[in-house]
Amino acid sequence: MIALMTKIAIGWLAIIFAGVPLYVTMAIAALAFLWFGGIPVELLPQKMAGAVNSFPIVAAPLFILMGNILAKAQITDRIVAFASAAIGWVRGGYAHASILTSIIFAGMVGSAVADAAGSGAIEIRAMTKAGYKPETAAAITASAATIGPIIPPSLPMVIYGVSADVSVGKLFMGGVVPGLLMGVALMAMVVVVANREGMRRETFQGFRVLFRTFLSSSFAIFTPVLILGGMFSGIFTPTEAAAAACLWALFLGFVVYRTLKVSDLLPILINSVETTGIVCILVMTAGAVGWCLSVSRLPQTLTPMIVDTIRDPLVFLLLTNLLLLVVGCFMEALAAMLILIPILVPAAASYGIDQVQFGVMVVLNLIIGTITPPVGVVLFVVTRIADITFETMARAIVPWLIPLLVVLAAITVWPPLTTALPSLLGVGAP
């Protein structure tokens, strides 16, 4: 079975690089394993359905729906206005405001692409008007957008939790401190760049403006409080939190800000269903491939080999970081995660590495991949917004990778950054 799985894996990689959609390649690989392994092919749809037959994964479409509702409700303007009033008066203030906006927005949408697309246009326009180079403004916006999938709610965390059988609640809480550290690290980088390039200070708009913009955005800012507070207190699970957040988003759009119309609901639902469909088909086919790997005992064979070859857990984590960073440059984050989880998670468990720490580390690695060429999807988004070439964007993003890599190194060598908060709060619900 191992020899068969190895041959199929080689052919699988070949058709991936040929440009065939990933979910198609995974379905073909699973079907080939069943066919040539003498296993009834009728098991394939059963295993695919079983991969999404999970209560925690219900959170995925709900968080997608919430993000689409909030984006359509146009609340980003209010958050940007508040962030600018709060911190826009320091040197490099608009850059700081962009990062603060991403931190707040991260607690609503949980997606780097949604963050970049939702607030990017406003942030980049404000920074360029203030004299920032377009590529600098775009790089700051892109790097700040990576906070979105780390601070809960986070779609990649949900997918990782379901695929690796790790508590989604623990993963959510494990991402809070690293997400905030990413914001702090990026702001530190802004300080360096602002002083070097002589960015001007903006005038403080006064406490009245600060208070007014806070009131205008307060209901929106309460969204992450609702999600995290509900999970902290044990009122609801991450899945139930997603449902509550959807209702809250509708309340904001229809009642508080009145920026939503009934006619907007159908496009929102269609967009959410399309995105959910893509996520689900990836999870289903990956689940089938994962079952095939388990039957072939390939992970069980590779794990002892990895442990015997790499005896130090820290060396394993560092090499895993390197592997994921390289993979993230060429493959979409969710797809890479689904492919590598069946191999890497058992190996990490053999070293006694905390699964929450490893999960946050995997997600952060692959999210950094969204802002690295040649296929960084967030780079393409901000490139269009800033109206610059991709080559210019690729050069501009390089310095802004440094603070993110520093945070990645920190959570790799010091597990309490990801494990302390879930343990303190006693979070363990799926």
- Span 325-329, average pLDDT: 81
**Residue 134, C-beta contacts closer than 8 angstroms, at least 6 positions apart:** 124, 128, 386, 387, 388
The four Cα atoms 255, 257, 259, 262 give a dihedral, to 10 degrees, of: -10
> Residue 277: exposed, middle, or buried by beta-carbon count in 10 A (0-12, 13-18, 19+)?
exposed
This prediction has a pTM of 0.79
For residue range 410-425, what is the model confidence (pLDDT) as tens digits?
999 999 999 988 888 7
Average pLDDT, the chain: 81
Q: Is the pLDDT of residue 299 over 70?
A: no
**Residue 337, C-beta contacts closer than 8 angstroms, at least 6 positions apart:** 156, 159, 160, 163, 362, 363, 366
Identify which has the larger pLDDT, 180 or 225.
Answer: 180
Question: Can you give the pLDDT at residue 427?
Answer: 59
Identify which has the larger pLDDT, 30 or 230.
Answer: 30
Q: Is the pLDDT of residue 71 over 80?
A: no
Q: Is the pLDDT of residue 257 over 70?
A: yes
